Amino acid sequence: MRTMEIPPFPRKIENVDLNTLLTARLSQTTVMWPAQAIPLLGYMCYPNDAAEREALLPTILRWPQASEDMPPTVPKELRRIQHDWLRVADIFHLHRDLVEGQHQARRGGPSIGKAITLVEANAKSRGTRAATLWSDWSTYKDVAHLVTAASLISAEARTRYRAKPPGPNGLTFNQFIPFQMAMLMPDLVLAVGIELERLGLSVVAHARTEPALDPETLWRIPEGINVAPIAPPLRKIRPQDVVVLNNRRAGNRGKANASKTTLVSG
């Protein structure tokens, strides 16, 4: 079992007013909780490469000192990393929808493989084939609860502030990205992540012996971090998605090598 080394917040963060929190944090670029945000982003970017995490830290450490005259340096490979995060978020959020909706009970229950089937079927971008999705899941599955939380918060910010940014000195629409959400709102990312971690570890599909997230390798959120969990909203699986799953060939079920999101109500 692995637990992230992230210090607790100095006071308990609970009963969050989401609208107030988003407006306050996104209307400026001050990093309120760097001691939590910086290690959180290290785990999210490089969950299984301690050397890369260590190399990333100086770049993230400079981020809070950025200014209009000296904008922050974009961490190496950030665009690709976040593109992969969004795929993983699609997979894990769809898996949650399948679980909460009690879908596919007669076909072995919900699974990551079925969520990947739906992401592939609904994808509009090139390169979103099952093999690529399995590769992304393999890379980031041990922080899937965190990258999903950050991606959902980013999507919520884009929905709320598409027409008008929350403040003249804050982020622009194009800056509403998962990396920035984790930097400016690590408390909210961890709050949503706690609930997603619980789901990923506790739900075992029918005819399966393991939960969606690996209990041995998952990067767990520390107990006593002083953040109360927040559940993402439940989405209903569409009828056309049920058809996709019912037509899923048995020979492709669960094979890793076989040849979009909104958040959060408090």
The verdict on residue 69 lying in a domain is no
Query: Helix, strand or coil for residue 63?
Result: helix
With respect to residue 11, please indicate whether it lies within any of the assigned structural domains: yes
- The number of distinct structural domains making up the chain is 1
- Confidence check: pLDDT of 260 > 80: no
Tell me if the pTM is above 0.85: no
Look up the domain containing 238 and give its range. Answer: 2-59+76-252
Query: 67 lies in a domain?
Result: no
What tens digit of pLDDT does each residue of 164-191 get? 777 777 777 788 889 989 999 999 999 9
Cα–Cα distance measured from residue 141 to residue 80, given in angstroms and rounded to the nearest whole number: 16
* CA angle (84 as vertex; 83, 89 as ends), nearest 5: 100
The top-scoring range by mean pLDDT among 152-156, 232-236, 260-264 is: 152-156
- DSSP result, 187-217: HHHHHHHHHHHHHHHH-B-TT-SSBSS-TTT
Q: Which tokens go with 261?
A: 């999101």
Identify the H or E element spanning 180.
helix 178-184
The answer as to whether 17 is a domain residue is: yes
**Is residue 81 within 8 Å of residue 146, measured between CB atoms?**
no
> Identity (one letter) of the amino acid at 143?
V
Query: Is 207's pLDDT higher than 60?
Result: no
In a domain, 28, yes or no: yes
Asked if residue 258 is part of any domain, the answer here is no
Tell me the range of 18-27, 229-238, 240-249, 253-262 where mean pLDDT is highest: 18-27
The model's confidence at residue 265, banded by pLDDT at 50, 70 and 90, is: very low
Model confidence over 66-112: pLDDT tens digits?
A: 554 554 555 668 888 989 999 999 999 988 888 876 655 555 567 89
In a domain, 262, yes or no: no
Concatenate the DSSP letters of all residues of 134-147 into one string: HHHHHHHGGGHHHH
Task: Compute the distance between CA of residue 40 and CA of residue 220 in angstroms, rounded to an integer.
Answer: 11
Is there a domain that residue 12 lies in? yes
What average pLDDT does the structure give for the chain? 81
Taking residues 210-214, what's their average pLDDT? 87
